């Protein structure tokens, strides 16, 4: 069984990597660092569950380890499926062309599924903080739980708004990718022109508002995630000061028996 110092140090490392990954999230290096951070955080929660003898925390730890791995795997597999399902062979010339509509639809499905798996991991991550607070009575776990919850809500709102915006112009994206003309917005244009990639200017205004709201929610979720990572570091650092009951009152030594 891992010692509390090992658990505290691993938690510190894991959340530092999550913090660095968030700050560098737009770069491949940041994504990799964040991915490794989630794995270490999952291992930390698993070890904490073993130390306090809480099977629920061990299960959550396993979920946190598997969630990013499965999400990345689904994303990679989804890209290959999107390419293979959208590739059509033209018999006359034996050339392969890409069905833009099928590719975009398949790719969006894969991305949404991967993000849902990731969000499931984040939800159980919040639950882990709640259980740690109840088991160890460390108040910083409670504060981290509230902050991670607020960040989770903000990220879900941003994701929903982005998906709504994409769904609003997806037909025009597909039409413009086929025709190669690009998306345009025009006054006094009805949705019947969507097949040529032309959308009413009112939709442009709506999209700007939706994407602006999504950006604001994303920024709030980003800032809250940074704060939550710092609070989680402090919470795991406090684990070093916890003394379990069995450590405080060890069982009496076994007396040798003489026959």
Q: Look at 18 and 182; give whichever has higher pLDDT.
A: 18
- Beta strands 87-90 and 95-98 are antiparallel
| Local confidence band at 58 (pLDDT 50, 70, 90 cut-offs) | very high
Determine the angle formed by the axes of helices 201-238 and 4-23, rounding to 10 degrees: 160
Which residues, including other chains, have CB under 8 Å from residue 229's CB and lie 6 or more apart? 15, 16, 18, 19, 22
251 part of a folded domain:
no
**What percent of the chain has a predicted confidence (pLDDT) above 70?**
72
250 part of a folded domain:
no
Q: Which of 166, 160, 171 is nearest to 196 (CA)?
A: 171
121 part of a folded domain:
yes
- Helix, coil or strand: residue 257: coil
* Other residues' Cβ atoms within 10 Å of the Cβ of residue 24: 15
60-115 pLDDT, tens per residue? 999 999 998 998 888 888 888 877 776 665 555 555 665 666 777 777 778 888 88
258 part of a folded domain:
no
Please state the pTM of the whole predicted model: 0.79
253 part of a folded domain:
no
Beta bridge partners of 199: 185
- Number of domains composing the chain: 1
103 part of a folded domain:
yes
pLDDT given for residue 63 in this prediction: 94
11 part of a folded domain:
yes
183-208 pLDDT, tens per residue? 566 665 555 555 555 666 666 677 77
pLDDT given for residue 172 in this prediction: 59
Q: For residue 26, which phi and psi values (nearest 5 degrees)?
A: -80, -10
Domain that holds residue 172: 4-241
pLDDT given for residue 233 in this prediction: 94
pLDDT given for residue 97 in this prediction: 60
pLDDT given for residue 94 in this prediction: 58
22 part of a folded domain:
yes
Average pLDDT, the chain: 80
11-39 pLDDT, tens per residue? 999 999 999 988 887 677 888 898 999 99
Structure tokens given for 118: 């990731």
Residue 258 clears pLDDT 60, i.e. is over it: no
Sequential DSSP letters for 100-140: HHHHHHHHHHHHHHHHHHHHHHHHHHHHHHHHHHHHH--HH
């Amino acid at each position: 069984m891992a010692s509390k110092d090992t658990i505290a140090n691993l938690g510190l490392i894991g959340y530092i990597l999550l913090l660095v990954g968030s700050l560098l999230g737009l770069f491949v290096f940041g994504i990799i660092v964040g991915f490794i951070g989630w794995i270490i955080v999952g291992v930390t929660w698993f070890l904490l569950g073993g130390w306090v003898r809480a099977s629920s925390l061990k299960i959550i730890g396993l979920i946190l380890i598997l969630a990013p791995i499965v999400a990345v795997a689904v994303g990679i597999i989804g890209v290959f499926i999107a390419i293979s399902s959208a590739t059509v062979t033209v018999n006359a010339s034996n050339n392969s062309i890409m069905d833009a509509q099928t590719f975009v639809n398949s790719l969006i499905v894969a991305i949404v599924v991967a993000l849902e798996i990731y969000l499931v991991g984040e939800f159980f991550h919040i639950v882990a903080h709640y259980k740690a607070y109840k088991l160890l009575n460390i108040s910083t776990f409670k504060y981290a739980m509230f902050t991670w919850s607020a960040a989770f809500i903000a990220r879900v709102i941003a994701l929903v708004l982005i998906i709504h915006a994409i769904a609003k112009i997806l037909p025009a994206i597909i039409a413009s990718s086929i025709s190669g003309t690009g998306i345009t917005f025009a006054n006094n244009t009805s949705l019947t022109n969507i097949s040529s990639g032309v959308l009413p200017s009112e939709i442009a205004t709506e999209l700007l508002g939706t994407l602006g709201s999504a950006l604001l929610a994303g920024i709030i979720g980003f800032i809250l995630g940074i704060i939550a990572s710092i609070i989680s570091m402090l919470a795991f650092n406090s684990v070093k000061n916890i003394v379990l009951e069995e450590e405080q009152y060890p069982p009496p030594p076994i007396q040798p028996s003489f026959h």
